[in-house]
Amino acid sequence: MSAASLEQPDRNLALELVRATEAAAIRAWPFIGRGDKIAADGAAVDAMRKFLGTVDFDGLVVIGEGEKDEAPMLFNGEHVGTGRGPACDIAVDPIDGTSLTAAGRQNAISMLAVSDRGTMLDASAVFYMEKIVTGAEGRGVVDIRKPIGENLRALAKAQGRDVADLNVAVLDRPRHAQLIDEIRSAGAATLLMLDGDVAGGINAARYGTRIDMCVGVGGSPEGVATAAAIKALGGFIQGRLAPTDDDEKQRGIDAGLKFDHVYEGEELVRGDNTFFVATGVTDGELVAGVRRKGPVIHTESVVLRSRSGTIRRIGADHLVSKWLDE
């Protein structure tokens, strides 16, 4: 192994990665509100993969898209990048919220998470994970094993607020009907998400948003990707795998995953050298969506880095002539 491959990702890598999420968001833009989530996702995947191929790193896809239409499409285990530079684990979601994009709804993003090689939990054998995310006030106060009402009262006390002041983000799914009732019975309000729980989790950990907590069962890959962002925000996250049947649980056991176990943030993504990059596809509280202004396409991105504890916003204007055939 070369000395270069042992390097750790540095701040410059994040600025290279944002080019890939920008490309995916721009390519998805023509499909917003067109009702074809497969076409939107395909365009975004192709663009992200192309741009990742130009980045000087050896990225191992731990959380990927899978293979579709017999074409290589950012599948788990694929290596991306030039192969030169730091060896990294990478989680990709060219569009987190394909249904949102197809319907023209808010909160669809293109995202990447990166950490040092061997530090990102591969939870792909089990599709679902129960998660709870808050800001820094939740650390040592909130616990996924406790009833939601108890967690809400503890978080409100830590924040010096009333439970009635709290807003809780939950995916709007039948499986969450009882959870939603319990949140409301405790006195908090719910913000029901149609999709895109990565953005919901990040907004729960981010200072100054409308969301105080994000809870419920969503994708395991999304949970790991969210954990990379939470590390940079200094927030709190826990996860617990939620297999749908015994066969899936056995696949998880065979893959070395633990059940009846609470994964802390440090277990989901180990170490203190993570990046999270997202570009808005449609408008949302985290980032604004892609906009065309005459001959220019405008994108907004966010870059989070755990080592420095920074969150940066990047606005970019792209010439339409370089991207779209008209």
Residues annotated within the binding site for substrate are: 96-98, 128, 173-175, 195-197, 219
What distance in Å separates the CA atoms of residue 253 and residue 251, rounded to the nearest whole number? Answer: 5
The pair phi, psi for residue 202, each rounded to 5°, is -65, -45
Radius of gyration from C-alpha coordinates of the chain: 19
Tokens standing for residue 111: 């995202």
Please enumerate, by residue number, every residue annotated as part of a binding site.
41, 65, 93, 96-98, 128, 173-175, 195-197, 219, 222
Give the closest residue to 118 by CA, choosing from 6, 304, 275, 270.
270
Please enumerate, by residue number, every residue annotated as part of a binding site for Mn(2+).
41, 65, 93, 96, 222
Give the closest residue to 14 by CA, choosing from 316, 230, 302.
302
Strands annotated E in the chain: 58-63, 79-80, 87-96, 109-116, 128-134, 167-171, 189-193, 213-219, 236-241, 263-264, 275-280, 291-293, 296-305, 310-319
* Residue bearing tokens 């750790």: 8
Tokens standing for residue 286: 């985290």
Residue type, 235: G
| Coil, helix or strand at residue 296 | strand
